[in-house]
A and B are shown apart, each in its own frame.
Chain A
């Protein structure tokens, strides 16, 4: 069969779900970050697929460029925060970081 829009979208959906599992499950802060990156990638695939098949023109790809850029920035900041966390507590276990407990 020819690869169509829906294949890409299905792939993106699957990748997104995987990312969700990662975010919910992981205890390591970096692990959560990994999950987030996977989700972002799934969004990108979606965008590109629509750009290719959905009649959107180049918009999708341009948007995907921006997403990548921002994902990079976000990863940098997140890591900076994690490093600060590590500095203060000597571990990156998010379960231990519950001073905001109400």
Chain B
């Protein structure tokens, strides 16, 4: 196996393992931390695929933002969140079944698809290209995303406001 393949499989394993642990571990705290593992692995996958900007963004936003957010969530929801225990996981057979079904379906679709030529690898940094695209071709989407973020911000702030008691 080439080095690339090895790296790939290693990071893939990390991603899947992290994911599995995140969904299967009873303790939510542990689940969040395994999520960290998964996210980092995903970032590495991005890098392997030549999306350097995206890898960094993944780390910054997901790990640095979302994961922190989740941790704060756990913190703020307190002991009850932590003490759910074994009853935390329910319907495991159903879940596994559904997951398996979807996986099988997607796999079949992948296997039976054709016509995708391996594209050329991306050389050089993508940051500049992405930046350019964002501000020219996908400008409107960019702006909308900004508005979306604003809306989410305001919405979230509103949702957690302390009503006058």
Contact = CB atoms under 8 A, between A and B. Distances in A.
- State if A and B touch, Cβ cutoff 8 Å: yes
A45 B65 CA distance: 19
Given A52-B122, A53-B117, 14 more contacts: A3-B4, A9-B110, A11-B12, A15-B42, A22-B23, A25-B23, A35-B22, A48-B46, A54-B116, A71-B61, A75-B66, A75-B69, A80-B155, A82-B73
B5 A34 contact: no
Contact of A24 (B45, B98, B130): B98
23 contacts: A7-B8, A9-B106, A11-B16, A13-B107, A15-B38, A25-B95, A27-B89, A28-B81, A31-B23, A33-B70, A34-B22, A34-B23, A38-B19, A38-B35, A52-B51, A58-B126, A61-B54, A69-B145, A76-B153, A77-B155, A83-B77, A86-B76, A93-B84
Interface residues of A, number: 73
B88 A26 contact: yes
Interface of A: 1-11, 13-28, 30-31, 33-35, 37-38, 41, 44-45, 48-55, 58, 61-62, 64-66, 68-77, 79-84, 86, 90-93, 95
Nearest to A50: B116
B69 to A, nearest CB: 6
A58 B77 contact: no
Contacts of B69: 75-76, 79
A45 to B, nearest CB: 6
A69 to B, nearest CB: 5
A5 B116 contact: yes
